[in-house]
Amino acid sequence: MALADLQTVVRNDVGIAAVLGILKQRFGDRFQTGHAIREQHAHTTTYIPSQLPDGVAFAQSTADVQAIVQVCGEHRVPVIPFGTGTSLEGHVNAPGGGISIDMMQMDKVLAVHAEDLDCTVEAGVTREALNTHLRDTGLFFPIDPGANASLGGMTSTRASGTNAVRYGTMRENVLSLKAVMPDGRVVTTAKRARKSSAGYDLTRLLVGSEGTLGVITEITLKLYGIPQAISGGVCPFPSVEAACNAVIMTIQMGVPVARIELINSLGMRGINNYSKLGFAETPCLFVEFHGTDEGVREQAETFGEIAAEHGGGPFSWTEVAEERAKLWKARHDAYWAGLTLRPGCTSLSTDVCVPISRLAQCITETEEDIARAGLIAPIVGHVGDGNFHVLVLMDPANAQEIEATEAFVARLNMRAIGMEGTCTGEHGVGQGKIAFLPHELGPGVDYMRAIKTALDPHGIMNPGKVLPNAIM
Amino acid sequence: MALADLQTVVRNDVGIAAVLGILKQRFGDRFQTGHAIREQHAHTTTYIPSQLPDGVAFAQSTADVQAIVQVCGEHRVPVIPFGTGTSLEGHVNAPGGGISIDMMQMDKVLAVHAEDLDCTVEAGVTREALNTHLRDTGLFFPIDPGANASLGGMTSTRASGTNAVRYGTMRENVLSLKAVMPDGRVVTTAKRARKSSAGYDLTRLLVGSEGTLGVITEITLKLYGIPQAISGGVCPFPSVEAACNAVIMTIQMGVPVARIELINSLGMRGINNYSKLGFAETPCLFVEFHGTDEGVREQAETFGEIAAEHGGGPFSWTEVAEERAKLWKARHDAYWAGLTLRPGCTSLSTDVCVPISRLAQCITETEEDIARAGLIAPIVGHVGDGNFHVLVLMDPANAQEIEATEAFVARLNMRAIGMEGTCTGEHGVGQGKIAFLPHELGPGVDYMRAIKTALDPHGIMNPGKVLPNAIM
């Protein structure tokens, strides 16, 4: 089936017209229908074409969201939650039109329970805003997907990033959440206890549901003590395989590495270009260790020995904050650095994740595939989790190149699935990966659809995402 | 509504008669209907009366389970999965009769992927059998609920235990699972990657579903490297509050404690009786640290300082394996030790879990409640998670005492819920806690029921558990 068919959502013009009138009356200036604002709320950060919502409502409370969902539910009109718009698979598109709910005015940190190492935030709080708020508490929220995303959006896509290897993903770090469900009622999915066996795990069901089962309005998150000491550094390797083997041994020896990131040769060239640095242009691991002064020194030394055993090194590391910051800025700028490799290009980021034992093979085969396909595409990876990104740099005017990229991405996703991995480690399915979900999970997709239909019988919640023809 | 009403399951005599004939023919000696074997499969380890299944099928493969579920589905007959029978809330009872599926012959470790730190097991493998199998790999599976439970049962109840504070619960440690769903199809909920954003989290939906959404037949579990060094010890405190505050500070300072267990004064008396030991009979913390030689020494020293700051000590700790084993045997025998406090008694174990900031208050109020109610009930707790057990020792012949215990348990569960906690941290809902779930989760229970109905429209999967009147 063609991708377009998988995403078909029938437009309900009559219902939409009714809802536009009601919401304008209810929300005044906090409801906008201008083209520019609608376009901004369907900007997908991908090459997937924008599909504009019919209006944008700016919610300031769970009650606002509830009102919008109730009106839309009554008139069978789609609801699409919107955070910072940094998701990568067309999650914010409105294939059947409808109402985009902008969550960014729900930006309050509602509570910090320092003794319990948790906090409750509104969905529009960004991860950087939360960490700024926490500054004087000695605590921090570690999940870092790169973008300064909203915590609601990160919850919705089950985001993770560079330090998931130590701190887990949003799956492990959301204790509870509040959501407006498709029937317009508000549910709190769990109490604030660290663990629970009280019935089905509604929290985990909503984490990663990409706005298709409910609109998340509040989230209770785990926090962590800021480590006493942090060390980190960069280590070059002769090959991707050597680097991956060093990662496997590091993890197997129980070194509690906080970040361990691979950048391949082309990626390192981009970083050198962009950040005016002089790293070796061979595969490199960027690593970081958290702990006590003694602990981080011990960890760094152990890692250095492991790297040397695999032909890597020299491993230069530091405990000096400024030097580390420079290092991680270079890593975090890998996206922009990648773009410098092909001025004027547009890009697409993949995010397959495989068991770590298959990682070297998967990356190596992917590098060969890139070369064969004649694409320019650096690779960066959260290799401690077996997750890596290929940043394909495309000429947006070249239809043939876009087609070649799509074919490459399909091969990459199927390669990962064939290696007992997933087509998406952290970006989510959205529109872009709908076609791959049945290959990955087979009948699991039917049970997902049964759940979707049970909770959202009229298919108003972010239709055309995650599941093939979810509202058929 | 009375508890009995919440659990009503209508018996389908015609369907059951048909299924008994078919399964006898299909399974021969592997299908049993004798009273003794049916009674053994409804032994609930609680004071909840046994409700016997009509037959017990001994499954040896996923295909066996599939055959049983298909036959039972066709004839609308309940299916109740059975592991080691050590669950604590009447999970294995058959209130509407039906077929118990004994999973214990599915006892193969199917794969150990040492490089990926994971393994795949059949549901009947016990945690001790798995760790014996792993002995020469340098890896282990940490989750330890006390009983040598089957990994299928532990997955079904979202079990945890003493070292969840460091390693998490079954929720965090199941990567993927295979289940026979109510429609008789087999689903694998996820690939083997460490993380994934591929659609709804079916893995976490089935973890903790207590056999009500499907029968789990295989589980892929995370493994961990056996720590290079382990240290542990016991530390007395002047009060429960002092001990809890020491726990809070330990966790907040980021000491990666592997176990931190509280036993109250009465519990310590039981342990001294039973294990012929001479511990102080005041609230004690049993702690254990995992890491490098240097690391565990550092952790133990830090903990000792924290304990002293809170009036605790002396903290005597050791790195000698035999001494630690003796210590943890005493802790693990706390259940049996408790029973010695009242010879001839039967017991009931609660498992509320609250945010750690409320733990001291919750335990203190509960101790007062126990005294007022005239009950004998030592307390042991996985206090790093805010989870504690009250072991109520009852005279089984004394109806008044059983009533007083039920009333006490209800107050305890509501107290925990009132403190933003849960009525069940790790045992599950089963039959015993059905009445409390709506108090804890409100409309969440409706969404659970919608999911249950969508996946199991005829209510054949372990009916009368988790949800009030799930098959009404």
Whether A198 and B441 lie within 8 Å, measured CB to CB: yes
> What residues does A235 pair with on adjacent strands?
A285
Q: How far apart are CA A34 and CA A36, in angstroms?
A: 6
Find where tokens 């959440």 sit: A177
In this complex, how many residue pairs, one in chain A and one in chain B, have their CB atoms less than 8 Å apart? 289
User: Nearest-CA distance from B248 to chain A in Å?
Assistant: 6
User: Can you give the pLDDT at residue B292?
Assistant: 86
> Quick one: average pLDDT of B340-365?
94
The two three-digit tokens of residue A369, written as one number: 């595939």
| B171: chain A residues, CB-CB within 8 Å | 195, 201, 204
Per-chain mean pLDDT for chain A: 94
Q: Which band of pLDDT confidence, cut at 50, 70 and 90, is reported for residue A472?
A: very low
Find, among B126, B120, B22, the residue nearest to B77 by Cα: B22
Whether B213 and A200 lie within 8 Å, measured CB to CB: yes
> Quick one: average pLDDT of A354-364?
96
Q: Is the pTM of this model over 0.95?
A: yes
Q: If residue A366 lies in a helix (H) or strand (E), which one and from where to where?
A: helix A359-373
Write the CATH number of the domain with boundaries A3-104. Answer: 3.30.43.10
Torsion region of B43: left, alpha or beta (phi above 0 gives left; psi -120 to 50 gives alpha): beta
User: Can you give the pLDDT at residue A3?
Assistant: 52
> Quick one: average pLDDT of A74-90?
96
A416 HSE (CA, 13 A, CB side)? 37
User: Nearest-CA distance from A78 to chain B in Å?
Assistant: 19
Amino acid at A183: D
Q: Which band of pLDDT confidence, cut at 50, 70 and 90, is reported for residue A295?
A: confident
User: Nearest-CA distance from B432 to chain A in Å?
Assistant: 12
ipTM comes to 0.96
| A450: chain B residues, CB-CB within 8 Å | 454-455
Among B185, B256, B417, select the one facing A191 at the smallest CB separation: B417
DSSP B95: B
The answer for A 273-292 residues in CB contact with B (under 8 A) is: 291-292
User: Can you give the pLDDT at residue A5?
Assistant: 58
pLDDT tens readout for residues B70-107: 999 999 999 999 999 999 999 999 999 999 999 999 99
User: Can you give the pLDDT at residue A365?
Assistant: 98
Q: Percent of chain A, pLDDT > 70?
A: 98
The two three-digit tokens of residue B267, written as one number: 């519990």
Q: Which band of pLDDT confidence, cut at 50, 70 and 90, is reported for residue A414?
A: very high
Q: Which CATH architecture has domain A229-336?
A: 2-Layer Sandwich (3.30)
| A142: chain B residues, CB-CB within 8 Å | none
Best mutation site among A195, A221, A361, A461 for testing chain B: the one with the most B CBs within 10 Å? A195
Q: Given CB atoms, is A169 within the 8 Å cutoff of chain B?
A: yes
> Quick one: average pLDDT of B5-21?
89
Find, among B286, B338, B285, B274, the residue nearest to B311 by Cα: B285
> Quick one: average pLDDT of B330-354?
91
> Quick one: average pLDDT of B239-257?
93
B301 HSE (CA, 13 A, CB side)? 6
Q: Closest chain A residue to B182 measured between Cα atoms?
A: A447
Among B115, B160, B452, select the one facing A356 at the smallest CB separation: B115
> Quick one: average pLDDT of A264-270?
95
The two three-digit tokens of residue B69, written as one number: 């579920």
- Asked whether residue A16 carries a pLDDT value surpassing 90, the answer given is yes
Whether B201 and A208 lie within 8 Å, measured CB to CB: yes
Q: Closest chain A residue to B190 measured between Cα atoms?
A: A441
> What residues does A32 pair with on adjacent strands?
A56
- Asked whether residue B1 carries a pLDDT value surpassing 50, the answer given is no
| A209: chain B residues, CB-CB within 8 Å | 200
User: Can you give the pLDDT at residue A7?
Assistant: 65
**Is it true that A3-104 and A342-439 share their CATH fold?**
no
Whether A440 and B192 lie within 8 Å, measured CB to CB: no
The two three-digit tokens of residue A262, written as one number: 């691979």
Q: How far apart are CA B27 and CA A185, in angstroms?
A: 48
| Of A24 and A276, more confident | A24
The two three-digit tokens of residue A451, written as one number: 């759940």
Q: Give the residue extent of every domain in chain A.
A: 3-104, 109-225, 229-336, 342-439
- Asked whether residue B4 carries a pLDDT value surpassing 60, the answer given is no
User: Can you give the pLDDT at residue B252?
Assistant: 85
Q: If residue B79 lies in a helix (H) or strand (E), which one and from where to where?
A: strand B79-82
Cα pseudo-dihedral B452, B455, B460, B461, rounded to 10: -70
User: Can you give the pLDDT at residue B7?
Assistant: 65
Q: At what angle do helices B293-309 and B240-252 cross, to 10 degrees?
A: 140
Q: Which band of pLDDT confidence, cut at 50, 70 and 90, is reported for residue B3?
A: low
Whether B442 and A113 lie within 8 Å, measured CB to CB: no
Could you check whether the bond before residue B314 is cis, i.e. omega within 30 degrees of 0? yes
Q: How far apart are CA B281 and CA B288, in angstroms?
A: 20
Gyration radius of chain A's alpha carbons: 22
Whether A168 and B172 lie within 8 Å, measured CB to CB: yes
The answer for A 432-461 residues in CB contact with B (under 8 A) is: 433, 437, 440-445, 447-448, 450-455
- Asked whether residue B286 carries a pLDDT value surpassing 50, the answer given is yes
| A467: chain B residues, CB-CB within 8 Å | 199
Could you check whether the bond before residue A438 is cis, i.e. omega within 30 degrees of 0? no
User: Can you give the pLDDT at residue B204?
Assistant: 98
| B157: chain A residues, CB-CB within 8 Å | 197
Q: Given CB atoms, is B361 within the 8 Å cutoff of chain A?
A: no
Write the CATH number of the domain with boundaries A109-225. Answer: 3.30.465.10
Q: Are strands B109-113 and B118-122 parallel, antiparallel or unpaired?
A: antiparallel
- φ, ψ of residue B12 to 5 degrees: the values are -110, 85
What are the E-state strand segments in B90-171? 99-102, 109-113, 118-122, 139-140
- Asked whether residue A443 carries a pLDDT value surpassing 50, the answer given is yes
User: Nearest-CA distance from A91 to chain B in Å?
Assistant: 13
Residue B322 makes CB contacts below 8 A (sequence gap 6+) with none
Q: How far apart are CA A115 and CA A245, in angstroms?
A: 39
The two three-digit tokens of residue A89, written as one number: 């698979």
Q: Percent of chain B, pLDDT > 90?
A: 85
What Cα–Cα distance (Å) separates residue A190 from each residue in A158, A170, A326, B439?
A: 17, 15, 40, 11
A23-32, A73-82, A296-305, B121-130: least confident range: A296-305
A328-337, B3-12, B96-105, B249-258: least confident range: B3-12
Write the CATH number of the domain with boundaries B3-104+446-455. Answer: 3.30.43.10
The answer for A 7-26 residues in CB contact with B (under 8 A) is: none
> What residues does B97 pair with on adjacent strands?
B95
User: Can you give the pLDDT at residue A48?
Assistant: 84
Q: Which band of pLDDT confidence, cut at 50, 70 and 90, is reported for residue A260?
A: very high
User: Can you give the pLDDT at residue B295?
Assistant: 87
Write the CATH number of the domain with boundaries B342-431. Answer: 3.30.70.2740
pLDDT tens readout for residues B394-426: 998 899 999 999 999 999 999 999 999 999 999
Q: Which band of pLDDT confidence, cut at 50, 70 and 90, is reported for residue A1?
A: very low
The answer for B 111-140 residues in CB contact with A (under 8 A) is: 113-118, 138
- Asked whether residue A287 carries a pLDDT value surpassing 90, the answer given is yes
Residue burial B307-326, b: 16+ Cβ < 10 Å; e: rest? beebebbebebbbeeeebee
User: Nearest-CA distance from B452 to chain A in Å?
Assistant: 9
pLDDT tens readout for residues A171-193: 999 999 999 999 999 999 999 99
- Asked whether residue A49 carries a pLDDT value surpassing 60, the answer given is yes
- Asked whether residue A446 carries a pLDDT value surpassing 80, the answer given is yes
What are the E-state strand segments in A47-153? 55-58, 79-82, 99-102, 109-113, 118-122, 139-140
Whether B355 and A114 lie within 8 Å, measured CB to CB: no
The two three-digit tokens of residue A277, written as one number: 């640095």
Q: Given CB atoms, is A361 within the 8 Å cutoff of chain B?
A: no
- Asked whether residue B64 carries a pLDDT value surpassing 80, the answer given is yes
Is 1.10.10.10 the CATH number for A342-439?
no
User: Can you give the pLDDT at residue B41?
Assistant: 97
Among B115, B356, B452, select the one facing A248 at the smallest CB separation: B115
- φ, ψ of residue A327 to 5 degrees: the values are -60, -50
Kindly tell me the burial class for residue A329, based on how many C-beta atoms sit within 10 Å of its own C-beta (0-12, 13-18, 19 or more). exposed
